[in-house]
Each structure stands twice: as structure tokens, then as C-alpha cells.
Amino acid sequence: MLNPTARSQRTKQIALLTIFTALYIVLRFIPFSIIIGPSGGFLSLSDFLAPVIGIILGPYIGGLSVIIGNLGAIGLGRPMIFFGLDFLPDLMAVLATGFLLQQKRSRLAIVVGLNAVLLAIFLLNPLTTVLVFSVPFAWLHIVAFIVLLTPLSLMAAKWQTTLDPKKIAAGLVVLVFISVMMQHLTGNILYEVVLNQLTGSVPTDAYSPMWLAVFFVYPIERTILIASAVIVGTPLIYVLNKVPYLNPRKITANEKNPQQKTTDS
């Protein structure tokens, strides 16, 4: 049975989960780029919020937030693109930033493994265009994977616990870059597997010209998402670090050690 302190901390987590889920649902209805193809779906502004949710709420509560948010948006009328699996791209982004924020080698290994598997699945799919004008289609995904493998990934995670806005912003650039590229890979895989290989909704001959167009568009889209996450996430994370009472990371630490005063990890 939870003691009063633990109940209070759990209440704060539920409140933050509710707030971010509601914001996520609203942003699901605001498009910023049209998905190329006949699915009728669109990329929404919620895509930039997913990595921030992972940083603030962690991989588990944050993951629950985007799953509920996706289902809620669909229930309110947002078109469903991938037959109920629409939450997966944003879930990958949440898991990436959420696990990296734990600043443990074992969690880093999880993110590296997820990224490697996603990249391999996409590149090995026969519907994928591997080269565009002798340039690898996935060149930016490869760069993000290399960044993930460097010490910079965990360093960027550590910066999210500081009270230095410049470090928070710089760390966000790194973390969101890694996560939105995993987000993009997951969306690409769903677009191939679900809409062609499982359902035949998109004809096979549509993929080559589509990937050619996406090759030029996706770096711009990912840049917009990173910039949006930095603009919104920097002041938000700073305030939460400034007020430990509201910080979900501090709430979790307090729940595990209710008698111990916690400090920034």
C-alpha cells in the first residue's frame, strides 16, 4: 500500500501524463507536411512533441502518453494511416529519448539495438530505394546512428538535468535528432509493410517515385521537428529542473527513496 508521500508523487505523475497527452492529442490535428502517397494521412506537429515527452516523462509513462494520445486522436476523428499502428513512430522517439535520459550503458544499448534493427529492416526491404543519384537514401539516418554511438549521446542526456539553457538546447538538438530519425525509419517501414506488403493499399510501382521525392523532403521535415522541439522543450525542461517538485524524474527518484533528498542526476 502506498504511503501518503508516494500517493502524492503518483498523483503528480498522473497529472503530467494527462496534461501531455491532451497537448499531444491537440497537436495530432495540426499538419505541417503532407505524407506523399494515397493514404490520406499527414504528418502532424505532435511529431516534435514525442521526443520531448520521452525526455520529461521517461520511456514508460511517456510511451503510454503517446499511445493514449494516438488512440484519442483517432477516436476524435484523425485519419488512421497504419490500421491501428499509428503510435509506433512516436513511440520509438519516446523510447529513444526516455532511455537515453536514464544515462546508463544498458539503456544506451537498447536504443542502439532498436536503431540498428529499424535501419536494417528498412534498407533490406525490396520496396526501399537504396541510392538516389549515387547518394544513400538513408544518409541522414546513418549520421544519426553514428552520433548515437558517440559519447555525445549520453553527454546530451546529462545536459537535460542542468539549469543552463544553452546546454539544454544543445542536448535537445542531439537527442531529438537521434529520436526523430528513428521515428522516420519506423514510419517508412510501416508505409512499406502495412500499406503494400500486408494490405496492398499502395501499389508497388508508387514507391520508387515516392522515395525520390521524400529524399529531398525528409531532411527539411526533420530539421523543422528538431527546431520546434528545441524552441518548446528548452524553457519547459529548464522550468521543470528549476522546480524539482514538478519534475517527473525527481518524482520517480523520491518514490524510490522517499526519505532521501534527490539531486540532479
Distance CA 6, CA 11 (A): 9
What is the domain extent for residue 123? 4-250
Beta-ladder partners of 132: 135
Give the tens place of pLDDT for each residue, 104-160: 999 999 999 999 999 999 999 999 999 999 999 999 999 999 999 999 999 999 999
Number of domains within the chain: 1
Distance CA 64, CA 87 (A): 10
Establish if 264 belongs to a structural domain.
no
Give the tens place of pLDDT for each residue, 188-240: 999 999 999 999 999 999 999 999 999 999 999 999 999 999 999 999 999 99
pLDDT attached to residue 205: 95
Residue 259 makes CB contacts below 8 A (sequence gap 6+) with none
pLDDT attached to residue 261: 43
Angle between helical axes of 105-124 and 88-100 (0-180°, round to 10): 150
Tally the residues of the chain.
Answer: 265
Separation in Å, CA 254 to CA 34, 62, 162, 263: 43, 18, 18, 10
Distance CA 265, CA 259 (A): 17
Give the tens place of pLDDT for each residue, 60-97: 999 999 999 999 999 999 988 898 899 999 999 999 99
Flag whether pLDDT at 29 surpasses 60.
Answer: yes
Dig out the grid coordinates for 191 from the structure: 508505409
Flag whether pLDDT at 256 surpasses 60.
Answer: no
Dig out the grid coordinates for 241 from the structure: 529542473
For 202, which DSSP code?
Answer: S
Flag whether pLDDT at 15 surpasses 70.
Answer: yes
Q: Which pLDDT band holds residue 11 (cuts at 50, 70, 90)? A: confident
SS3 label, residue 244: coil
Flag whether pLDDT at 6 surpasses 90.
Answer: no
Q: Model-level pTM?
A: 0.89
pLDDT attached to residue 264: 38
Q: Which pLDDT band holds residue 250 (cuts at 50, 70, 90)? A: low
Establish if 180 belongs to a structural domain.
yes
Q: Which pLDDT band holds residue 244 (cuts at 50, 70, 90)? A: confident
Backbone angles phi, psi at 86, to 5 degrees: -60, -20
Give the tens place of pLDDT for each residue, 34-70: 554 444 556 788 999 999 999 999 999 999 999 999 9
Residue type, 260: Q
Establish if 262 belongs to a structural domain.
no
For 206, which DSSP code?
Answer: G
Residue 234 makes CB contacts below 8 A (sequence gap 6+) with 165, 168, 169, 172
Flag whether pLDDT at 255 surpasses 80.
Answer: no
pLDDT attached to residue 35: 53
Establish if 110 belongs to a structural domain.
yes
Distance CA 229, CA 52 (A): 7
pLDDT attached to residue 14: 87
Establish if 27 belongs to a structural domain.
yes
Distance CA 124, CA 45 (A): 29
